[in-house]
Chains A and B, each alone.
Chain A
Amino acid sequence: MLVVALGVAAVLARFGHAYAAYPFLHVPDERAATGDAQALGQRAARAATALDRLRPTGTYLVVDTYRNRLHVYRDGELLRTAICSTGTGIVLRDPRTGREWVFDTPLGERIIETKRRNPVWAKPDWAFIEEGMLPPKDPNERFDDVSLGKFGLYMGDGYIIHGTLFKSLLGRRVTHGCIRLGDEDLEFVYNTTPIGARVFLY
């Protein structure tokens, strides 16, 4: 019986696959392995200088969209870390047209394009569809001067760093893509961050 079982197992093992690990070996890319030492040195210096020029100076913001933290830096020095709320990542589908909106906070680099005190939110269609309502025909019905708090820093494409009525949800992914901050943090960010400042989101 044992011999038969071992025989069957051996046959099955002959046809079966299993995971095997191999070291992460590599060879130099042929396109890379060209040029003498002097030429390579010049290429390296050029690339390093160009990379340095891309790095931020002055005041800039870094937003960790997983941990929901916003950091304010000036010339590489961390000035403040704030708890924020970022996008849920949920997709909303319009039942009439099939159009979809992804409630993501964008990743990568953005620029603070404008800043406003007492910002007014012109609600887009999704804000009504999410509530199960048709968007209103009268544009005046779209304006909301309460939800965004006292300050707004606009990053383009409708993404704003703004305040919130829902302080207990700070630190969680609950927004439609905007970044919400508590009142004191928002005022600090508004006063510290100039128009044109870079925002790095990851």
Chain B
Amino acid sequence: MGAGDVPPRATQVAALEMELSLARRPDVYLVLNPSARQLEVKVRGVALDRIPLRGVEKILHVPLLSASSPPPFPLPAVWRVVDGPGDSDREYIAPTELRPYKAEGYDDPPAAATPTRPGAPPPTATPIPEPPASYRAQLDCGWDLWITETLPPLGFLARARAAVRDGWERLRGRGTHPRPAITLAMDRDDAKRLHHLMRSGMPLLVLADP
């Protein structure tokens, strides 16, 4: 360190060491920088994609006039996705029965893989469901990671309406109890791309303020 250099903060050093431990493995990891409002997709320390965030909030489902606020997180920290939406929202195909193999029979290619022949209709791909733009993934820190295009309405009147509606549903035994969520608001296409990437066990490094 040179004479004019500013010594690094302990949290910066800790974040660097945490990232090093993640980068030693060949897996994809995410780096959330709340103050820069940015989420990075990284492998081996290389930023492969950067997603700008419109908002980073802690969102809780609480009584309307609740005075309690959640305790601050100790950061930096590495949390892991417990149930990756990229794993759980999958389409299954299962033939009901299998017929004996015939070489000539296999020459009938599947619809998804028919080569284009003169005069033949063009091949079509098996349709893949469009990923959602708003979804939740459980984190091992006890919170959810809520990826959404738009934050829920948070003004007092909107919250009062939501509380009345939720009170009515609770009275009918159908109340919802969403887990507290670290909420990242981003563009629709970014949210879909992240859904495709977010697998169970994927680490999320959350940086502290610079």
Which chain A residues have a beta carbon within 8 Å of chain B's beta carbons? 9, 11-35, 37-38, 40-45, 47-48, 50-52, 54-56, 62, 64-67, 88-96, 102, 107-110, 128-137, 141, 165-169, 172-174, 198, 200-202
B83 at the interface (CB under 8 A from A): no
In angstroms, Cα B46 to Cα A62, docked, is 10
- Let me know if A166 and B59 touch, CB within 8 A: no
Interface range, B side? 35 or more
Given A16-B63, A55-B45; 17 other pairs, CB 8 A cutoff: A25-B73, A26-B209, A29-B14, A32-B76, A33-B11, A40-B8, A54-B44, A91-B93, A108-B25, A109-B43, A128-B106, A129-B95, A130-B95, A172-B125, A173-B125, A202-B28, A202-B197
A31 to B20, CA, bound (A): 16
B126: chain A residues within 8 A (beta carbon): 88, 90, 174
Tell me if B100 counts as interface (CB < 8 A to partner A).
yes
Q: Are A18 and B61 CB-contacts (below 8 A) given A12-B168, A24-B34?
A: yes
Contacts of B145 in A (CB 8 A): none
Q: Which parts of B107-130 form the interface with A (CB within 8 Å)? A: 110, 112-116, 122-123, 125-126, 128
**How many residue pairs between the two chains, A and B, have CB atoms under 8 Å in the bound complex?**
283
**B77 cross-chain contacts in A, Cβ below 8 A:** 29
Q: Which residues of A contact B163 (CB under 8 A)?
A: 12-13, 16-18
* A98 CB, min distance to chain B CBs, angstroms: 9
Is A20 touching B123 in the complex (CB atoms < 8 A)? no
Write the residues of chain B forming the contact surface with A, with a CB cutoff of 8 angstroms: 1, 5, 7-17, 19-20, 23-28, 34, 41, 43-46, 48-49, 56-64, 66, 69-70, 72-77, 86, 90-103, 105-106, 110, 112-116, 122-123, 125-126, 128, 151-152, 154, 158-160, 162-171, 175, 177, 182-183, 192-193, 196-197, 199, 208-209
User: Is the pair A51, B7 in contact by a Cβ cutoff of 8 Å?
Assistant: no
Instruction: Indicate if the CB atoms of B59 and A21 lie closer than 8 Å.
Output: yes
Residue of B nearest to A9 (CB): B164
Residue of A nearest to B77 (CB): A29
Would A28 and B61 be within 8 Å (CB), given that A18-B159, A48-B16 are in contact? no
**Majority secondary structure of chain A interface residues (helix, strand, loop or mixed):** mixed
Cβ contact within 8 Å between B122 and A168: yes
25 sampled A-B residue pairs with Cβ under 8 A: A14-B167, A16-B165, A16-B175, A18-B162, A18-B163, A20-B159, A21-B151, A22-B60, A24-B34, A28-B10, A29-B14, A32-B76, A54-B24, A62-B48, A66-B196, A88-B126, A90-B90, A107-B199, A109-B43, A131-B110, A132-B95, A136-B101, A166-B115, A202-B41, A202-B43
Determine whether the beta carbon of B45 is less than 8 Å from that of A96: no
Contact A200 B46 (CB under 8 A): yes
CB distance from B142 to the nearest CB of A (A): 15
Kindly state the separation between the CA atoms of A202 and B194 in the bound complex, as whole angstroms: 10
B interface, by DSSP: helix, strand, loop or mixed? Answer: mixed
- Whether the pair A47, B16 counts as a contact (CB closer than 8 A) is yes
Q: Are B7 and A41 in contact (CB under 8 A)?
A: yes
Q: Which 4 pairs of residues, A with B, have the shortest CB-CB distance?
A: A16-B167, A32-B14, A12-B167, A16-B166
Give Cα distance in the complex from A172 to B159, angstroms.
42
Which of A30, A44, A200 contacts B44, CB < 8 Å?
A: A200
| A residues in contact with B158, CB < 8 Å | 18
